[in-house]
Structure 1
Amino acid sequence: MNVIASRGQLRASFIRWALFTVPLIVLLGFVAGQAGGPNTVWFQSLAKPAIYPPPATFGIVWTILYVMIGLSLALVCSSWGARGRGLAIGLFAVHFLCNLAWTPVFFGNQNIIGGLVVMGLVDVTLLAVLWAFWRVRRAAALLLLPYLAWALFATVLNYEFHRLNPEGRQDTSSGATQRFEL
């Protein structure tokens, strides 16, 4: 018999991993989101692209995506003995750090170009993760496809913010916003 584990054992391993990875991914996303948000004076002063969705959309979409990302990661983590598992998890860790860095860079540092660079890294590393996950568990890679679509949309949205706000903010000559330097 060349079976390493029964289907029941694999399912139990996936459930244990999912009970760890899903809350962890959602929690990390929430914590990173606390580094800034659309309610700042700076962001409110920016010209918004036509493709900018209602702000409530982001919380809903990211929560769903983070659950799917956690489930995808659990599928790979529970694939004991699979060739490329360690590489896939390592690539995911690098990728997810890039993902978490976007909010502090864009909102926290009020850096649109920096956010665009981070989004480029998110896109490239996500493609590497998709490739690695596909080699370990195809279902794990398929679970990440909506995330890829959203990440590409977010990159375009970030670019549009830069295009409309090349200085990183609207013209302040109207006095609508104030800038303080120490």
Structure 2
Amino acid sequence: MTETTEQTVTPRTNHRTRVFALIAFMVLCLIISAFGGAVTATSVNDWYAALNKPFFNPPDWLFAPVWTVIYFMIAFSGWRVWLKTGIANAKGPFGLYAAQLALNLAWSFMFFGAQSPILGLIDVVILLAVIIANMIAFWKIDRLAGILLVPYALWVAFATLLNAAIWHLN
């Protein structure tokens, strides 16, 4: 038996469909980012600014560019798996994908919206576990898709440590 082409979905989809799907994955991630950013903006300049933070807290200006790159990597990762399998043939991995995006957005509501570091900490611990599971599931389908989620997992691991420190200090 010959090896299938790199992109299993490709024979059933044309170039325009593949480009539209990439744009759809990007738009989905940008919508999640925009909603999270809007919630964050409600208390980042007052409540969050007044919190005690650990010495390793990055400067505020760093968060937006890091998250922008990470969201594009999340979108590209999902698109690559879609190219390989479609969504119907990877319901488990795409269920994890949807769950990590939902938990990511929920963190903004819990930490900044509810102004609750402990709720944020609970969410981010679960989020990190789901990202790792998603990374593994995607890796099994497309190695690059799994690798693209590694910076996300590392950043959220750091965010978990930061969230825990903020909870502890306040």
- In structure 2, the residue corresponding to 1:36 is in which secondary structure? helix
Distance 1:140 1:60 in 2: 21
The equivalent residue for 1:172 is none
Distance 2:95 2:44 in 1: 34
Deviation at 1:163, TM superposition (A): 1.5
- RMSD of aligned alpha carbons: 2.6
Deviation at 1:9, TM superposition (A): 3.4
Matched, 1:19 2:19: no
> Are the equivalent residues in 2 in contact too, given 1:84–1:136 (CA < 8 A)?
no
Distance 1:39 1:110 in 2: 10
Distance 1:91 1:144 in 2: 12
Mapping for residues 24-173 of structure 1, pairs under 5 Å? 24-37=28-41, 39-80=44-85, 85-165=90-170
TM-score by length of 1: 0.81
> Are the equivalent residues in 2 in contact too, given 1:84–1:135 (CA < 8 A)?
no
Deviation at 1:72, TM superposition (A): 0.3
Q: 1:25 to 1:83 in 2, by over 3 A?
A: closer
- Structure number, greater radius of gyration: 1
Deviation at 1:58, TM superposition (A): 0.4
Unaligned 5+ segments in structure 1 are 166-182
Distance 1:101 1:81 in 2: 26
Q: 1:82 to 1:54 in 2, by over 3 A?
A: closer
Higher helix share: 2
Q: How many residues align?
A: 165
Unaligned 5+ segments in structure 2 are none
Deviation at 1:14, TM superposition (A): 4.4
Q: Deviations over 1:33-70 (max 9, x none)?
A: 21133534221211121111111100000000000100
> Are the equivalent residues in 2 in contact too, given 1:72–1:143 (CA < 8 A)?
yes
> Are the equivalent residues in 1 in contact too, given 2:128–2:156 (CA < 8 A)?
yes
Q: Deviations over 1:148-179 (max 9, x none)?
A: 110000000001101111xxxxxxxxxxxxxx
- In structure 2, the residue corresponding to 1:18 is in which secondary structure? helix
